[in-house]
Amino acid sequence: MSEQLHYALFTGCTAKQSTPELLSSTLAVADKLGIKITILEEASCCGASHLQDFDEFLAHVLNARNICYAEKLGLTMITICNTCQLNSAMTKHALDKDPELKARVNEKLAEVGLEYKGTSEIKHFLYTLIDEYGVENIKDKVEVPLSHLNIAPFYGCHNIRPSELHEEANGHENPYNPTSLDNLIDALEGNPVNYESKNKCCGFHVELQANHTSEVLAGNALLDAVDNNADMMVTPCPLCHLKMDTYQDSIGEVMGRDVELPVLHMPQMVALALGCSEKEIGLNFHVQKAAHLYSQAS
Amino acid sequence: MSTHTEEIVDDYKPFNTDEIDTFQATRKVTLKTFRFNAETDYLPYYKHYEMEVGKDELILDLLNRIKWEHDGSFSYRRSCRHGICGACAIKVNGKATLACKQNAIELIELFGDELLIEPSSTKRAIKDMIIDKSDFWEKHAAVKPYVVSDVEARPKTESKQSIAEFNNFLDSDLCIQCGACHYSCPALEVNDAFLGPAALNAAYRFTVDTRDEAGDERLKITAEQGSGVWDCVKCFECAEACPKEINPIEKIGKLHNLQFVRGVAKSNVATRHAEGFLRGMKKSGYLDEADIVTYSEGYLGVYKHLGTALKMMKTGKIHWHSGIPFINSIPKIKNLDEVQKLIEISQTNKL
The verdict on A107 touching B (C-beta cutoff 8 Å) is no
* Residue B348 near chain A (CB below 8 Å): yes
User: CB–CB of B316 and A250 under 8 A?
Assistant: no
Residue at A227 is within a domain: yes
Average pLDDT value for residue range B158-162: 88
Continuous H helices in B242-317: 248-261, 269-275, 277-283, 289-301, 306-314
A162 and B240 within 8 Å at the Cβ level: the answer is yes
| Domain B134-147+165-261 class, CATH top level | mainly alpha
Q: Using a CB-CB distance cutoff of 8 angstroms, which residues of chain B are in contact with residue A47? A: 277
Q: Look at B233 and A217 and tell me if their CB atoms are within 8 Å.
A: yes
Query: pLDDT value at position B198?
Result: 98
A176 to B270: CB separation less than 8 angstroms, yes or no: no
Distance CA A269, CA A183 (A): 13
Listed by start position, the domains of chain B span 26-131, 134-147+165-261, 270-346
> Do the Cβ atoms of A83 and A49 come closer than 8 Å?
yes
Q: How far is B316 from chain A, CA to nearest CA, in Å?
A: 6
**pLDDT at A192 > cutoff 90:** yes
The predicted pLDDT at position B299 comes to 78
Could you report how far apart the first and last alpha carbons of chain A are, in Å?
A: 29
pLDDT (tens digit per residue) in B51-76: 999 999 999 999 999 999 999 999 99
Residue A298 contacts residue A41 (beta carbons within 8 Å) = no
Is the CB of A170 inside 8 Å of chain B's CB atoms?
Answer: no
Element (H, E) at B169: helix B163-169
- What would the mean pLDDT of A122-132 be, rounded to a whole number? 97
Q: Is pLDDT at B158 greater than 90 in this prediction? A: no
- Look at residue A254 and tell me whether its pLDDT is greater than 90: yes
The ipTM estimated for the assembled molecules is 0.97
Q: Answer yes or no: is A134 within a domain.
A: no
**CA-based radius of gyration for chain A:** 19
**pLDDT at position B152, please?**
87
Q: Suggest the residue from B244, B291, B339 to mutate for an interface test with chain A (most A CBs closer than 10 A).
A: B339
Q: How high is the pLDDT of residue B329?
A: 67
Is A217 close to B351, i.e. CB distance below 8 A? no
Q: Which of A44, A53, A285 sits opposite B316 (nearest CB)?
A: A285
* pLDDT tier, B8 (very low <50, low <70, confident <90, very high otherwise): low
Instruction: Quick: pLDDT tens for B321-348.
Output: 665 655 556 789 999 999 999 999 999 9
**pLDDT by residue (tens digit) across A60-98?**
999 999 999 999 999 999 999 999 999 999 999 999 999
Q: CB contact, 8 Å: B108 with chain A?
A: no
pLDDT at B325: 55
CA distances from B84 to A107, B81, B128, B178 (A): 43, 8, 22, 9
Q: Is B148 exposed, middle or buried (0-12, 13-18, 19+ CB in 10 A)?
A: middle
- A293 inside domain: yes
- Determine, for residues A209 and B269 on separate chains, whether the beta-carbon distance falls below 8 Å: yes
Nearest to A162 among B239, B254, B334 (CB): B239
Q: Which of A75, A96, A123 is the last residue of a domain?
A: A123
Percentage, residues of chain B above pLDDT 70: 90
Q: How far apart are CA A53 and CA A51, in angstroms?
A: 5
CATH code of the domain covering residue A17: 1.20.1050.140
Q: Which of B2-16, B226-240, B276-290 has the lowest mean pLDDT?
A: B2-16
Q: B328, B237, B194: which is closest to A200 by C-alpha?
A: B237
Q: For chain A, what percent of residues have pLDDT higher than 70? A: 99
What pLDDT is recorded for position B281? Answer: 96
- Domain containing A174 equals 141-297
CA neighbours closer than 13 Å in the CB half-sphere of residue A124 = 34
pLDDT in tens, B240-296: 999 999 999 999 999 999 999 999 999 999 999 999 999 999 999 999 988 899 899
- pLDDT, mean of residues B2-28: 57
3-state secondary structure of B197: helix
- CATH number of residue A158's parent domain: 3.40.50.11810
Which residues of B fall within a CB distance of 8 Å from A51?
274, 277-278, 281
Domain closes at, from A89, A123, A157: A123
The mean pLDDT value of chain A amounts to 97
Query: Is B148 in the A-facing interface, judged by CB distances under 8 Å?
Result: no
User: Of A71, A94, A123, which residue is a domain's last?
Assistant: A123
pLDDT of B18 over the 60 cut: no
What pLDDT is attached to residue B4?
Answer: 52
Report yes or no on A278 lying in a domain.
yes
Interface A–B counts its CB contacts (< 8 A) at 204
A132 inside domain: no
Residues of B in contact with A14 (CB under 8 A): 289
In angstroms, the separation between the Cα of residue A71 and the nearest Cα of chain B is 16
Interface membership of B255 toward A (CB under 8 Å)? no
> Domain check: are A181 and A291 in the same one?
yes
B175 closest CA partner among B39, B97, B84: B84
Upper half-sphere CA count for residue A244 (Cβ side, 13 Å): 36
* A252 interface with B at CB cutoff 8 Å: no
Residues of A in Cβ contact (< 8 Å) with B331: 16
Rounded Cα–Cα distance for residues A231 and B75 (Å): 42
Confidence of residue B111 (pLDDT cuts 50, 70, 90): very high
Full 3-state SS string of chain A: CCCCCEEEEECCCHHHCCCHHHHHHHHHHHHHHCCEEEECCCCCCCCCCCHHHHCHHHHHHHHHHHHHHHHHHCCEEEECCHHHHHHHHHHHHHHHHCHHHHHHHHHHHHCCCCCCCCCCCEEEHHHHHHHHHHHHHHHHHCCCCCCCCEEEECCCHHHHCCHHHHCCCCCCCCCCCCCHHHHHHHHCCCEECCCHHHHCCCCHHHCCCCHHHHHHHHHHHHHHHHHCCCCEEEECCHHHHHHHHHCHHHHHHHHCCCCCCCEEEHHHHHHHHHCCCHHHHCHHHCCCCCCHHHHHHC
Minimal-distance CA residue of chain A relative to B315 = A285
A208 and A86 within one domain: no
Cα three-residue angle A125-A128-A133, rounded to 5 degrees: 130
Domain count, chain A: 2
Kindly tell me the sign of the dihedral angle through the C-alpha atoms of A198, A201, A207, A212: negative
Give domain status of residue A27, yes or no.
yes
For Cα atoms A254, A255, A256, give the angle at the middle one, nearest 5 degrees.
95
Fold of B26-131: Ubiquitin-like (UB roll) (3.10.20)
pLDDT band at B2 (very low <50, low <70, confident <90, very high): very low
Q: Are residues A109 and A165 in the same domain?
A: no
Report CB contact under 8 Å: A246, B311. Answer: yes
Packing angle of the helix pair A56-73, B336-346 (nearest 10 deg): 150
B310 Cβ under 8 Å from any chain A Cβ: no
Tell me the shortest Cα–Cα distance from A142 to chain B, in angstroms.
Answer: 29
| Statement: residue B148 has pLDDT above 90 | yes
Q: What is the pLDDT of residue B323?
A: 58
A119 and A162: one domain?
A: no
Q: How far is B18 from chain A (nearest CA, A)?
A: 31
Q: Are strands A150-153 and B45-53 parallel, antiparallel or unpaired?
A: unpaired
| The Cα angle at residue B71 between residues B70 and B76, in degrees rounded to 5 | 115
Q: How far is B346 from chain A (nearest CA, A)?
A: 5
Say if residue B82's pLDDT is above 70. Answer: yes
Mutation site, A208, A281, A286, interface B, largest B CB count within 10 A? A208
Check CB contact under 8 Å for B277 and A50.
Answer: yes
Write phi, then psi, for A208 (nearest 5 degrees): -85, -50
Q: What is the pLDDT of residue A1?
A: 52
Q: Which residues contact A289 (CB under 8 A, 6 or more apart)?
A: A262
Strand pairing category for B89-92 and B95-98: antiparallel
Specify whether A20 is located in the same domain as A117. yes
Same-domain pairing of A217 and A79:
no
Q: What is the pLDDT of residue B16?
A: 52
Is residue B1 scored above 50 in pLDDT? no
B327 and A CB contact within 8 Å: no
Query: A residues 123-152 near B, CB within 8 Å?
Result: none
Q: Is residue A136 part of a domain?
A: no
| Contacting residues of B for A284, CB less than 8 Å apart | 315-316
Distances (CA, A) of A250 to B185, B269, B274: 23, 20, 24
pLDDT for position B3: 45
pLDDT confidence band for B318 (50 / 70 / 90):
confident
Cα dihedral angle (A158, A164, A165, A166), rounded to 10 degrees? 60
In a domain, A1, yes or no: no
Find which of A209, A246, A247, A285 to mutate to test the B interface (most B CBs within 10 Å of its CB). Answer: A209
Q: Are residues A118 and A161 in the same domain?
A: no
**Which of chain B's residues have a Cβ under 8 Å away from the Cβ of A265?**
none
B266 and B313 in contact (C-beta within 8 Å)?
Answer: no
